[in-house]
Structure 1
Amino acid sequence: MLKRSATGTWLPAWVPESTVNVSILLLFCSMVQSATNGYDGSMMNGLNILPSYTNYFNLNAATTGLNTASIFIGGFWGPIFSGIMSDRLGRRPTLFWGAVITLIGILLQTAAQNIAMFVVARIVLGFGSAVSGIAGAVYLSETFSSRWRAWGVGLLNDFYYVGALLAAGITLGTGTWNTTWAWRAPSLFQGIFSILCIIILPFIPESPRWLVHEGYLDEARLAVAQTNANGDLSDPVVLVVYKEIIDTLKWEKEEGRTMSPKEIVKSPGARKRFLIGMSPGPFSCIAGNIIASYYLGAELDTAGITSNIQQLKANVVLNVWCLGCCLAGTHLVAKWGRRPTAILSQVLLIACLFIIGGLSKVYADNPTGASNAIVYGDVAVMFLFQGFYSIAWTPLLTLYPPEVMNYSIRANGYAATSFSLNALALLFVFIMPIGLTNIGWKMYMVNASWDIVILGLIWYYWVETKGKSVEEIDALFDGEKHSLVPDVELVRRGEVQIDDKALEVHIIGEVTTMKG
């Protein structure tokens, strides 16, 4: 059963009564960015292996890096606009326009006739996916109930491997074709996620935080009810969540907090939130996974596996493995916590990089005399590395930043996170093939060394956000929660009882004042 819901924007909504159904639709709509990017990384892995692609564009090391990394040029510019768009247009309309721009880029990429056209297409694609990705992460963090937020927002990025797995299978299937459709067909299929997003958008509510901030108070309460209590406006959890939202946003306005991008550096508290919240972007980017995410073929070459078909099969197996690991990691993030999971993952990554570097050196010193044990051991640790990366960084990349940042800096702060990620990715994706060509196994040792620094920063600076609503996280940075109602999860579990009627009267009075 669908119910027409006002959204405060030009994009209407007919929302299911069931909270479970709403949550499923939220997840599938917002998966567009991670699935598109996951598909892209795996697809480019496959295309960089295919002679029909490399010969068509007559690629060398530099142009291979340019073709592959150009998506991050668009991803570099997308965040400059996405935060402002999300705040002014609404979360859902920004998702819509991001998906449309992504589709345009995909069509241009499929029709590319030369390197210039291919690069421009990937810039457009990167811009669109950055816009929708930022809006999606912010939207999910603000709309999912706190009990499902870790899974809901974490799975947003876990779908990276759903897209990657589809791309790996498609490029494996088209790899034997002798026409340009061997690489054009995988490119065209990349648009399926953006189309899915556009189809689902009319059936999900707008972010209740955005609605309250824009003055759509009654619409916001309905959105809270739809995402927490099957549309029951008088449910105790709905009353507490709604009261937390209006109290916190009222406090931010009284404190003079604005939606300007300058707000992220305006005060010491905002700077602390921003620096901690943005850290997953650059940390995950330089952790070392870019080698296997975009240049698996070159990585397998260093281990002695040079057959195109064997490399494409390895690409499929790798994505199945990583999907399983990121799902397990999302469970750890939800049950164990964000910070402990990140520390565990980082320790395992450092160990793997040193082992890969050592095994690759043994093979490089004597390629003809290296035993099969060295070759397959190297590949096995490469796969372990990608799995260990997926445990923490895949869910945390979209989950942790919007949690840490408060409403006034959330969209622009997360946009800055994406900006830093794409800026570093643009650099690293471009230089990795050059580095692997020039210094080989030493790249792994260099990468492991800076991962040790990242581990220390996580250990010392990160805060734990497990089990808290985004308003309750304020207490970790401001020293207090800006609402007197009990914590949401305590009410949901029945550990704290509230006076429903008294709270309802208080809410009505506060809403009346805010409207006046």
Structure 2
Amino acid sequence: MGYVNGNIYVITTIAVIGGALFGFDIASMSAILGTQQYKCFFNQGGLDDKGQCAGPSSSTQGGISASMPGGSFVGALASGIITDMFGRRRAIQIGSVIWCIGSIITCSSFSIGQLVVGRFINGVSVGICSAQVPVYVAELAQPSKRGTVVGAQQWAITWGILIMFYISYGSSFVDGNTAWRLPWGLQMIPAVLLFFALFFLPESPRWLAKKDRWEECHETLALVHAKGNHNDPFVQTELREIREMCEFERHNQDASYLDLFKPNMINRTHIGMFTQIWSQLTGMNVMMLYVSYIFGMAGLSGNANLVASSIQYVINVFMTIFALVFIDRWGRRVPLLIGSTLMMTFMFANAGILKSYGKPAPPGGVDNVAEESWDMSEAQAAAKGVIACTYLFVASYAPTWGPVSWIYPPELFPLRLRGKAVAVTTASNWIFNFALSYFVPPAFENIKWKVYILFGVFCATMTIHVFFFFPETAGKTLEDVESMFQSDVKPWNTKVQYQHIRKAEQGAVVLGKVDEPATEKTAS
């Protein structure tokens, strides 16, 4: 079979390149759409009042921007079938090939229609990878490291945003169409590396078990968890639990998407979907995409605005590190509750400042927001307060909802449904991303500062929702999580079991004994 790397951190570093592809897309479009090279090539509005190309109309640009999350919605749903058929690793490889096809079409675009098609195809790739990378690393990782390695997907996204932002900005100084073709062409390189590197990584042991490839399953568990020791106690215990779960699930019919909405699974499906939906409705996209407008209100322009904008990307990368280091000790519930509470506070603070010092948007709305939407020329202190709240908001999101929204869904579902379930939950993320791409620009024009009130209310609602419905999954094997959901334990009574699972991995205690009341496994 050739060389296969069993180090979970190496496996994760390679796999989460699939997550970085999403970050590349966000940053490249954000940086490119404001350049004159892009606006003149895809110009629809003639010249503006400054004698420069107006670029695509606002509705057309909305369609260009939304084509990527639209494709991601399709790709995420399709990934459930692809991953069950070909495996987690092959699904990610298929996504990387699709990304290269989309990037070729995008960087060679000669019309808006071709650009939309290329970005839609890129979106299909992002949908597949964003759904299946968390499943892949979650099924390979030791329970005590699962949060760290799955959360690395979010960290890869933040790095993708940061790196591509500066590449796209540097390319903007190149004359002609190369200014936007170059970054959209360069983004193929990571996908090519991802495709070939995956040949040297193992397949998910749980997918192998599902296909009755038990020898390979045992080999992979030993390789990843015990440096090849097939007789390691933890490996033996986990192999037994996987075998028991597979035997139990074999008595059920083949999984279908409809199974996710049956009475015995609907609660988990709703939790997984809302984890992804709420992550969009935190308002992070508002802060990330429109922060340059807010900085324009504070009197920043040109390179000063670039530096201020890039600071939030650096904050996003840096603060996510805390989640990678501590998320398995913190658990899932506490970061979600603290994160939404802090984000609510900063959203309401921004709304209050903008209400007190703002003025109505002029004709042209968002297109002129940086110069005229809210006149803060006489309220520099207030404008700096908005900038500070924006940075604090990003710092609150980065170690909480950002990574946990990817970590949590794969942990909720039984093996036979996991691939399709995460496909559906990730599709929920993308359909709301798609909707917000259209909603936010007219919202800024029509309801102005109330946009922040709206997202603040969403943050307050998700805090209540998480407290009453989201159980703790940290410190448990995926099979223990299944037992927990079949018990009567209340979500607010579930606990992180990090120390217990660490001792189990070291052979000091026996797996399978969790805080929650144990129950007989019933059909799922």
Letter in 2 for 1:349: M
1:46 aligns with 2:31: yes
1:497 and 1:441 map into 2 onto residues whose CA distance is: 55
The one of 119, 122, 131 aligned to 1:134? 131
1:323 and 1:188 map into 2 onto residues whose CA distance is: 24
Counterpart for residue 279 of structure 1: 274
Cα shift at 1:368: 5.7
Cα shift at 1:493: 3.5
More moved, 320-329 vs 489-498: 489-498
The higher-RCO structure (CA 8 Å, 6+ apart) is 1
Give a deviation string over 1:365-424, Cα, whole Å, max 9, x none. 372642321222211211211221112122112110000111121111111111111111
**Given that residues 222 and 233 in structure 1 are in contact (C-alpha distance below 8 angstroms), is that contact kept between their aligned partners in structure 2?**
yes
Counterpart for residue 324 of structure 1: 318
Letter in 2 for 1:353: M
Match runs of 1:196-275 below 5 Å? 196-254=193-251, 256-266=252-262, 268-275=263-270
Task: List alignment gaps of at least 5 residues for structure 1.
Answer: 5-12, 481-486, 499-516
1:311 aligns with 2:311: no
The one of 440, 446, 451 aligned to 1:443? 451
Q: What percentage of aligned pairs have identical amino acids?
A: 25
The one of 31, 35, 50 aligned to 2:16? 31
Letter in 1 for 2:292: G
Letter in 1 for 2:295: L
More moved, 221-230 vs 385-394: 385-394
1:47 and 1:178 map into 2 onto residues whose CA distance is: 13
1:191 and 1:326 map into 2 onto residues whose CA distance is: 25
Query: Alignment partner of 2:110: what SS?
Result: coil
**Given that residues 205 and 223 in structure 1 are in contact (C-alpha distance below 8 angstroms), is that contact kept between their aligned partners in structure 2?**
yes
Counterpart for residue 288 of structure 1: 283
Cα shift at 1:477: 0.5
**Given that residues 362 and 370 in structure 1 are in contact (C-alpha distance below 8 angstroms), is that contact kept between their aligned partners in structure 2?**
no
Cα shift at 1:28: 2.2
**Given that residues 176 and 182 in structure 1 are in contact (C-alpha distance below 8 angstroms), is that contact kept between their aligned partners in structure 2?**
yes
Counterpart for residue 109 of structure 1: 106
Letter in 2 for 1:186: P
Q: 1:90 to 1:261 in 2, by over 3 A?
A: same
**Given that residues 281 and 417 in structure 1 are in contact (C-alpha distance below 8 angstroms), is that contact kept between their aligned partners in structure 2?**
yes
Counterpart for residue 512 of structure 1: none
**Given that residues 332 and 472 in structure 2 are in contact (C-alpha distance below 8 angstroms), is that contact kept between their aligned partners in structure 1?**
yes
1:274 and 1:436 map into 2 onto residues whose CA distance is: 33
**Given that residues 363 and 374 in structure 1 are in contact (C-alpha distance below 8 angstroms), is that contact kept between their aligned partners in structure 2?**
yes
Counterpart for residue 345 of structure 1: 339
Task: List alignment gaps of at least 5 residues for structure 2.
Answer: 43-54, 360-373, 489-499, 512-524
Match runs of 1:488-503 below 5 Å? 489-496=502-509
Letter in 2 for 1:290: N
Cα shift at 1:346: 0.3
2:18 and 2:275 map into 1 onto residues whose CA distance is: 17
Letter in 2 for 1:294: L
Counterpart for residue 504 of structure 1: none
Letter in 2 for 1:493: Q
Aligned residues: 475
1:408 and 1:472 map into 2 onto residues whose CA distance is: 15
Letter in 2 for 1:297: S
1:393 aligns with 2:387: no
Letter in 2 for 1:26: I
**Given that residues 67 and 120 in structure 2 are in contact (C-alpha distance below 8 angstroms), is that contact kept between their aligned partners in structure 1?**
yes
Letter in 2 for 1:129: V
2:19 and 2:301 map into 1 onto residues whose CA distance is: 29
The one of 95, 98, 101 aligned to 1:98? 95
The one of 379, 390, 410 aligned to 1:371? 379
Match runs of 1:337-486 below 5 Å? 337-365=331-359, 367=375, 369-479=377-487
Cα shift at 1:47: 1.8
Give a deviation string over 1:47-94, Cα, whole Å, max 9, x none. 233232233322232222221111011012112211011011111111
1:193 and 1:361 map into 2 onto residues whose CA distance is: 44
Cα shift at 1:237: 1.1
Q: 1:269 to 1:468 in 2, by over 3 A?
A: same
1:56 and 1:310 map into 2 onto residues whose CA distance is: 27
Counterpart for residue 47 of structure 2: none
**Given that residues 295 and 308 in structure 2 are in contact (C-alpha distance below 8 angstroms), is that contact kept between their aligned partners in structure 1?**
no
Letter in 1 for 2:272: G
Give a deviation string over 1:252-306, Cα, whole Å, max 9, x none. 222x15222222123x3311121112221101011101113333333434x3446
2:388 and 2:93 map into 1 onto residues whose CA distance is: 41
Counterpart for residue 509 of structure 1: none
Cα shift at 1:142: 0.7
1:109 and 1:227 map into 2 onto residues whose CA distance is: 38
Q: 1:497 to 1:176 in 2, by over 3 A?
A: closer
TM-score (norm 1): 0.88
**Given that residues 79 and 134 in structure 1 are in contact (C-alpha distance below 8 angstroms), is that contact kept between their aligned partners in structure 2?**
yes
1:354 and 1:93 map into 2 onto residues whose CA distance is: 45
Q: 1:209 to 1:358 in 2, by over 3 A?
A: same
Cα shift at 1:461: 0.3
1:322 and 1:278 map into 2 onto residues whose CA distance is: 24
1:233 and 1:248 map into 2 onto residues whose CA distance is: 20
Counterpart for residue 292 of structure 2: 297
Cα shift at 1:474: 1.2
Letter in 2 for 1:187: W
